[in-house]
Structures are given as structure tokens and as C-alpha cells.
Amino acid sequence: MTNFDANPFAHRSTLTFELPLFSIIKEEHYLPAFQAGMQQQLDEVQAILNAPGDATFENTIVALEKSGKILERVSLVFFNKTSSDTNDALEAMRAEIAPKLSAHHDAIMLNPQFFARIKNLFDNRDSLNLSSEDAWLLEKYYKDLIQAGAHLSDAQRARLTELNGQLSKLSTQFSKNLLADTNDLAIVVDSAEELDGLTANQISAAATAASDRGLAGKWLLAQVNFTGNPLLDSLTNRDLRKRIMQASLQKGNQNNANDNKKILLEMVKLRAERAQLFGVNSHAEHITAVQTAENPSNIHAMLKKIAPAAVKNAQLEAEDLKKSAGNEIESWDWGFYTEKVRLEKYSIDTAKMQPYFELERVLHDGVFFAANKLFGITFKERPDLVTYHPEARAFEVSNEDGSPLGLFIGDFFTRDSKRGGAWMNSLVKQNYLLDQLPVVVNNLNIPKPPAGQPALLTLDFTTTLFHEFGHALHGLLSRVKYPRVSGTAVQRDFVEFPSQVNEMWIMWPEVLNNYARHYETGEVMPQEWVDSLNAASTFNEGFATTSYLAAAVLDLAWHSLTSEEAAGVTDVEAFEAKALAGYGLDFAPVPTRYRSTYFSHIFDGGYSAGYYGYIWSEVLDADTVDWFKENGGLQRKNGDHFRDTLLGRGGSIDSMQMFRNFRGRDSKIEPLLKRRGLL
């Protein structure tokens, strides 16, 4: 046995569902596994190229699907770990491995012999007698290679490799800077009196967070990844609200060691130069060519249908808030006075709802309950299974007949070692080719309560939990042959669609009455509160839509620059201001959801020129919610149809064709406009 044979990534795990061997994985295992994994895949690709006889689907595409499994195992574990529980040693490894992985990817994808082999198969695909799933996979690989630049000249490919390596380094540094700055900008509060308006649970969580940083006797209000903070809705102390908001807006923009301005400007320039290599005008043009949107013009056409009405609604909302406040509304006032107006108009006090949104009830009696009713699947916690962190809990998921479906891992609480936001990762991807069932992870950033106290969620956190579990369902319910198209491996502007659909069950009466119960008394949340929430469904949508659109427009603005234009941008804040003003979205009380220096979605998250995808997907989501309502809602027949035509298909067929197979027609935008109060 060689030394590497003892590495926990050397072989497929023998644990339940191939759960990685977290009990024995150590930091020193990662780099050797990356090195061995890259070499293994290069050898496997060379074996494909050296295969005797003509290229076939089996000896090329299927062989490629089976390649690189050591690298896949270590990558899935490592990058989940660095996003959810990182440290200095792991960050140093990430900085070291990122350019090597980029070069490895390019060594395969930009190999002219490899491209010629797959192009030959693609050109002769009609004579290969392929199944529809096989034909689609071949087309995906061919388009992947074109998108990667395999068809370019030798000189262009060489420069492309350089650009990709530089971008991977910059992206890693952007993420590292942002985590450090977000932690540094947490607000330390010296007296409990300053926290007036927060619940006892929130105050206790802030005390625990301070204690964890060695600040016993104080309170720590952690920053979140987006602009603002949920605590702004409740804090009565206006000066403290202002401190929180102003600090939030400065993430990655303090002219210190963690400043991200130079990094993002360089990334924008390099992406624009890379687009030029591909013969297109901009990074946005290159990226959207393989999305359902097809080109930036289609995106702008949709956003411009929405933006004017959204800003108008936000301005009307601001007038209402001004009446309540008795003064002009600043960004740090919006959430606080929104809650006051919500109470005045609809008798809704969201703070009083938190005792009805206790984490365990929401999870078991809400999220899992809805999935069981819709798909017949069940969940059993497995405390015997060791995960990557003590707070990450494993649940065995079974089909209605008791057969195994997969493993779900929930990691719900915030910590300094976890990046902001919420997301889903895969640790094992479902596929029939290698007979693997899925292992998926949901990460959230809920403030951790003191030991022995319940975690009481806001309505926003409850929404996030349902949303992210929609991604988890997309991974768990996958039933495809090939790893390349498993689960969420769909077009980027389609991936948010299933997760947004899952949010519909939050307020569905059968689900809500099952989970929204007072954590002490067990009483159901009062019906008048529910009625008020439904009546206020479009309340504050002007703010929400304007804030989101501003971020989407910023993303498109940065990535629509030509190489020459990108080289001329030196002032990040001035560029942001001009981009938002050009769209009519420059309304100071409603800042963009992400400023550029902390916009990790587009500078470290795979959403560059793709943040529009949330609202693009919401068009499909709103239309789908209407379908469920028209067909009886939370019923197995509806869940089975959704699973069979869409969720279970992963990326094994065209995304929009999947939607048509489910809905019976193309999507319509009217349900979205109605939902957001924009008709």
C-alpha cells in the first residue's frame, strides 16, 4: 500500500451513501489528494485519446464521465469546508490550489486533440444511434468545450490559460478579504439598553456571539453578506441602526488590507479581455450565450419592464414611512419604520411571530412535512454519522416504500469561520452510471442561541430555510444516468427556480398550521396574523424589487464592458452610481442589495453576469405556483408530476423544455408582476 492509498480520498467511501470519511479526514490530506486527483484525471484523459480504433460515445464521453473521481471527492469536501468552516491553514491551501485547478481544467478543456475527438462525435451524432439523454450529454460536452475556448488558436488558448489562472487567484482573495472584513465590521455594543427593540432571544444570541470572541459582558451584532441587517427592523436606537448600516455598506471597501476594489477592477478587466478572445464584446455576452436568456438584450428587456414600477412603488412606500417617522427616511430607517407601518396597516408585528418559528418545528413540521406530503419522502436524523462540523446534522432520506434516497446535511448556525449567506452544496452527486445516491448540504447563518435555548427564526430566516431546501430537493430527487447533469447542474439562470417554488409552502395552510406553533404553549399562530400576512403579500415589494434589481443591474454593468471600457474604469463608487442612475434605480433610501466590494455572487460565486437569474427564474416560479394552486396544491399527484417532468431530470434535457413538459406551455410574466405588485 502506498502512502496515498491510506488517504481518505483515495477510494470511494464505504459509509452510508458514500458519506465522506470526516472522522479521519485531516487538513494534511487535502493537497496530496488534489495532486493525485489531477494526475489521475490527466492519465485517464490521455487513455481516452490513446484508445485504439475510432472514437465512440462509450470510449470517450462515458469514459470522461467516469474520470477524475479522486479530484471530485476532494473538491466537493474541501470547498464545502472552506465555505462553511474555514481557517488560516485552509485559506492558504485554497490560495495555493485555485490556480492549479484552473490550469488543470484548461489542460483538459483546451486540449486540441481532445476537442477534435469530441467534435468528431458531435458532427456525426445522427449516425451514432444515441438515446435522447446520451445525445444531450454529447451536446453538453461539445458546448462546454466551445464555451471554454477549445476552438481558439494556440496563442489564444495560451493567453486564456493565463487569464483563467489570474482570475482564480483574484476570486480566492476577494472571498478571503470579504470574510475577514465582514468579521471585523461586526458592531460591539456596550450596554443592553442600546438593544431596545430586540427580543430576549436575539439579545442572548448577541451576548453569546460576543463571548465567543472573548468579549464577555458585551453584545456583538454580526454583519450579514447583503446590505443592511435584519436587526434594523427592530432596533429603536437610531444611532446604532446608522452604525450598522454604514458599516455594512463598507464591507470590502475600507482602503485597508481587506479592500476589494482593486481586485474586482482587475477581475472585470480580465473577464472583458477573455471575452474578446472569444470574439464577443463582453463577458455578459459570452456567459449568457449558453443560458436560457441567450443574450444580455433579452435580460435588459425584461428588467426594464419591471424597474420603473418597482422604483415608483418604493418611492410611494417611502412616503408612507416618512409619515410614520415624522422625518426623511434614510436607509437605516427603512426596516424599522416598515415594521411600524406594517403594524399600522395590517396589524402585523413580525417580532411577535418569532416564538412561532422555532427552528426544529420549522424544519421537521414545516420543511420536511411539506416534502413528505408532496413527494412521499421521509427523514430520519442520524446522530451516529460524523459530518464536517459538530453543528452539521445528518438526516437519512427515504422514498415512500422505504428505499434509500440520499442524505441531507443541515448546518444552520452562523460562526466566524463560515461565509455569509445561505447555500446548498453536494458532497456526492446522484447518478446511475456509478450507482451513487446524493449527499447534499444546506448552509444557513442563523444566530446561534445560548445553550439550552431555542432558535427562534424571523420570517426571513424561515423563508431562507424553505428556499435552500428547494435546492436540496433538486439534488435529492435527481434521477439521471450521468454525473455531469445531476441535480442542480442546469443552466445558471434556471437553477433558482425549484428553490423559489419551495417557498410557496411557507404560507400554505396545511403546512403553516403544522409548524407555526408557539414553542412554549404549542398554540397555532393566530389566524388573524396569517390573514394579515396574506393581505400584505405585496407590502414593501417596491423596496425588495428595487434593491434586487439594483444588484442585478450592477452585475450586468460591470460585465457588459468591452476590454477598452473596462481598462478605463478606476473609480468603483462612481461606476456604481452611474450604472444605477442610468436605470433609474438611484434611490438613496433603498441601497443596492450588494455593493460591488461585497458582491461575492459575481466575484467569487459563479454568478458573474448571472445575478439576474433570480428574477428570471421567478417568472417560472410564479407561473408554477399558479399551476399548483389550479391543481389542488399539496398533493402527491402534483409532486409526482413536478418530480417526473422537472426535478428528477436534473440537467439531462433542455431547461426550458423541462418547464414546458411540466407546465404544458411556455412561461408567462404576468404571475410575477402580480406577485410583486407591479401590474
Reported as a single tens digit per residue, the pLDDT across 31-69 is 999 999 999 999 999 999 999 999 999 999 999 999 999
In a domain, 433, yes or no: yes
Q: Can you tell me the distance from the alpha carbon of 96 to that of 105, in angstroms, rounded to the nearest whole number?
A: 15
pLDDT value, residue 605: 87
For 456, list phi and psi in degrees, rounded to 5.
-100, 125
Q: Can you tell me the distance from the alpha carbon of 308 to that of 298, in angstroms, rounded to the nearest whole number?
A: 17
* Spatial CB neighbours of 579, under 8 Å, sequence gap ≥ 6: 553, 554, 557, 558
Long-range (24+ apart) CB contacts under 8 A made by 112-117 are 112/150, 112/154, 112/157, 113/49, 114/45, 114/48, 114/49, 114/145, 114/150, 115/145, 115/150, 115/151, 117/48, 117/49, 117/55, 117/60
Q: Residues 614, 630: contact at Cβ < 8 Å?
A: no
Give me 598's grid cell: 461585497
- Say yes or no: 378 and 424 in one domain: yes
Reported as a single tens digit per residue, the pLDDT across 327-340 is 999 999 999 999 99
Q: Measured between alpha carbons, how far is residue 351 from residues 154, 166, 333, 348 in Å?
A: 61, 46, 17, 9
Place of cell 453569546: 208
Active site residue 294: no
Q: Residues 448, 405: contact at Cβ < 8 Å?
A: no
In a domain, 657, yes or no: no
Q: Can you tell me the distance from the alpha carbon of 306 to that of 500, in angstroms, rounded to the nearest whole number?
A: 19
Average pLDDT, integer, range 416-440 = 97
- Say yes or no: 340 and 359 in one domain: no
Give me 565's grid cell: 471600457
pLDDT value, residue 27: 98
Helix (H/G/I), strand (E/B), else coil: 195? helix
Average pLDDT, integer, range 339-350 = 93
Reported as a single tens digit per residue, the pLDDT across 71-121 is 999 999 999 999 999 999 999 999 999 999 999 999 999 999 999 999 999
Predicted confidence band of residue 679 (pLDDT cuts 50, 70, 90): confident
- Say yes or no: 502 and 567 in one domain: no
Average pLDDT, integer, range 366-371 = 98
pLDDT value, residue 464: 98
- Say yes or no: 440 and 553 in one domain: no
Select from 535, 564, 581 the last residue of a domain: 535
Average pLDDT, the chain: 97
- Kindly report the length of the chain: 679
- ∠350-599-161 over CA atoms, to 5°? 150
Place of cell 430555510: 465
The whole model's pTM is what?
Answer: 0.94
For 404, list phi and psi in degrees, rounded to 5.
-70, 140
Residue 454 burial by Cβ neighbours in a 10 Å radius (0-12, 13-18, 19+): middle
Q: Can you tell me the distance from the alpha carbon of 567 to that of 549, in angstroms, rounded to the nearest whole number?
A: 25
Reported as a single tens digit per residue, the pLDDT across 512-553 is 999 999 999 999 999 999 999 999 999 999 999 999 999 999
In a domain, 285, yes or no: yes
Domain boundaries, position 21: 4-109+111-151
Q: Can you tell me the distance from the alpha carbon of 43 to that of 19, in angstroms, rounded to the nearest whole number?
A: 26
What percent of the chain shows pLDDT beyond 90?
99
Pick the catalytic residue: 18, 273, 468, 496?
Answer: 468
In a domain, 630, yes or no: no
In a domain, 498, yes or no: yes
Q: Can you tell me the distance from the alpha carbon of 330 to that of 589, in angstroms, rounded to the nearest whole number?
A: 5
* Spatial CB neighbours of 355, under 8 Å, sequence gap ≥ 6: 456, 518, 519, 520
For 425, list phi and psi in degrees, rounded to 5.
-125, 160
In a domain, 669, yes or no: no
pLDDT value, residue 2: 63
Select from 516, 535, 554 the last residue of a domain: 535
Q: Can you tell me the distance from the alpha carbon of 275 to that of 147, in angstroms, rounded to the nearest whole number?
A: 10
> How many C-beta atoms surround the C-beta of residue 451 within 10 A?
6
In a domain, 264, yes or no: no
- Say yes or no: 370 and 292 in one domain: no
Checking phi first, is residue 609 left (phi over 0); if not, alpha (psi -120 to 50) or beta? left
Give me 494's grid cell: 434556471
pLDDT value, residue 3: 85
Q: Residues 10, 33: contact at Cβ < 8 Å?
A: yes
- Say yes or no: 548 and 526 in one domain: no
Q: Residues 610, 287: contact at Cβ < 8 Å?
A: yes
pLDDT value, residue 1: 42
Q: Residues 591, 547: contact at Cβ < 8 Å?
A: yes
In a domain, 303, yes or no: yes
Is residue 443 within a helix (H) or strand (E), and if so which, with residue range?
Answer: strand 439-446
Q: How many separate domains does the chain show?
A: 4
Is residue 440 within a helix (H) or strand (E), and if so which, with residue range?
Answer: strand 439-446
Average pLDDT, integer, range 589-605 = 97
Q: Measured between alpha carbons, how far is residue 191 from residues 390, 478, 571 in Å?
A: 32, 51, 39
Read off the CATH number of the domain in which 430 is found: 1.10.1370.40
- Say yes or no: 460 and 485 in one domain: yes
Predicted confidence band of residue 583 (pLDDT cuts 50, 70, 90): very high
Q: Residues 206, 221: contact at Cβ < 8 Å?
A: yes
Reported as a single tens digit per residue, the pLDDT across 151-189 is 999 999 999 999 999 999 999 999 999 999 999 999 999
- Say yes or no: 416 and 520 in one domain: yes
Select from 567, 586, 611 the last residue of a domain: 611
Residue 319 has pLDDT above 80, yes or no: yes
The residue among 539, 531, 538, 524 whose CA lies nearest residue 339 is: 539
Reported as a single tens digit per residue, the pLDDT across 133-156 is 999 999 999 999 999 999 999 999
> How many C-beta atoms surround the C-beta of residue 166 within 10 A?
17
- Say yes or no: 479 and 447 in one domain: yes
- Say yes or no: 221 and 297 in one domain: no
The residue among 7, 13, 14, 12 whose CA lies nearest residue 28 is: 7
Helix (H/G/I), strand (E/B), else coil: 400? coil
- Say yes or no: 335 and 364 in one domain: no
- Say yes or no: 139 and 87 in one domain: yes
Q: Can you tell me the distance from the alpha carbon of 186 to that of 190, in angstroms, rounded to the nearest whole number?
A: 13
pLDDT value, residue 629: 97
Q: Can you tell me the distance from the alpha carbon of 491 to that of 591, in angstroms, rounded to the nearest whole number?
A: 29
